[in-house]
Chain A
C-alpha cells in the first residue's frame, strides 16, 4: 500500500500562471519530505525539501507547504515556465531511515 499519494496524475497550466501539485501521506512517522523533478530519459533530480518542524520552505519560484495535521503537502511553482514541464514526484522519509517512499508522480505540462 502506497504511503505517499499523488492523486492527480497530470496538470496543465498556462505559462506565467501558478502550478500547484498536491501530495498526501499516511505514515505519521514521516518527518522529511522532498520533491523531485524528472524529465524523460533522465533520472529524477532534487528540487526542494521540507522538515516536519517547518510548515513552509521557499527556493526561488518553488515553495513547499506542509500541513502535518492533514498529512498533506503541496508544491507551488510561480510563475510556471515551459522548462517546468516534467514529472514531479513527492517523497518522504522517517527518522534516520535513508529510504525514501515516493508517490506515483504528477506530469506537469506548461502551455505557451
Chain B
C-alpha cells in the first residue's frame, strides 16, 4: 500500500526555519517526482514546488511565492523527501502536503495527510 507521511510541522516564529519530511512506503521513492502543496486555513491548494526523480536530473522547481526561501531535497535510500523552509513569513502558515507523480507533467496520484505549519510570534 502506497503511503506518504509528513512530519516536522509546528509553531515557529517569523524569520525562523523549519524542515518538513515526507516518508514514503509501499513504492520506490526514487521512481517518482515529489511535490509539496500547501493549503492555508480556509483556502485552496497552492503548489509549493517539486523535485524530479534522479532519472530526470533530480532538479527542483518552485512557486514564485517561496523561491529563494524554500528548498526541496530527497534521500531515496531512506525514502524521504524534505522541504526546507527558511525566512518564514506569517503567510506561510498552512497545512503542507507531499504528493507523488511520475514527473512534473503527470497527475499527483497519492497524497499524505499533511503537517501543519504555523508561523506566528
Chain A partners chain B: no
